[in-house]
A = this chain, B = another copy of it.
Amino acid sequence: MNSSNIEGDHLQLLIDQQAIQNCIIKYCYYFDTNQPDQLVQIFTDDASIDYGPEVKTLKGHPEILATISHGLTHTFAATSHHVSNFMVEVTDSQSATLICYLYAWHQYKETGNVGYLWGQYSLHLKRVRNHWKICDLVLRGTATQDFHRANMHSIGRMN
């Protein structure tokens, strides 16, 4: 392999890392602007979302769309999902994982109260027709305050 090929590989990795981060950034944007039809397009057709041990894991576009649409219309008046601390691993040319941090602010429609979540997203992604898509998303909670769920998946802090 010559130096030009190696550089091409390095460049492709940076482009992939950026595209992978953009998946969760767009997820947050479409969630916070209540655009569930756009949001579901970031996921593979048979993707799963696990929001925690108190919620049934969502499977496939119709279930993801129905559940998130319902939440954005009936549960939340407003939300703001701030993601950071991106840790991307491109495992092969067609698959990747991403762990990132989440600080999320939610206002509930019924009460007007505000709930907070500090946590992480763990994602698996696949390249589908040259676009990275999320095939698996797990939400993990480090802590919550006045949140609508009591139990969250752990971030795996050692004891």
A residues within 8 Å of B by Cβ? 3-4, 7-8, 10-11, 14-15, 17-18, 22, 25-26, 28-29, 32-35, 78-87, 99, 101, 103, 105, 107, 114, 118-119, 142-143, 145, 155-159
Contacts and interface: CB of A to CB of B under 8 A. Distances in A.
A82 B82 contact: yes
A82 B101 contact: yes
B143 A114 contact: yes
A105 B80 contact: no
A25 B118 contact: no
8 contacts: A4-B4, A14-B15, A17-B18, A29-B87, A78-B143, A81-B85, A82-B118, A105-B143
A146 to B, nearest CB: 12
- How many copies of this chain? 3
A34 B155 contact: no
A85 B157 contact: no
Given A85-B83, A143-B78, A158 B18 contact: no
A22 B100 CA distance: 12
B85 A28 contact: yes
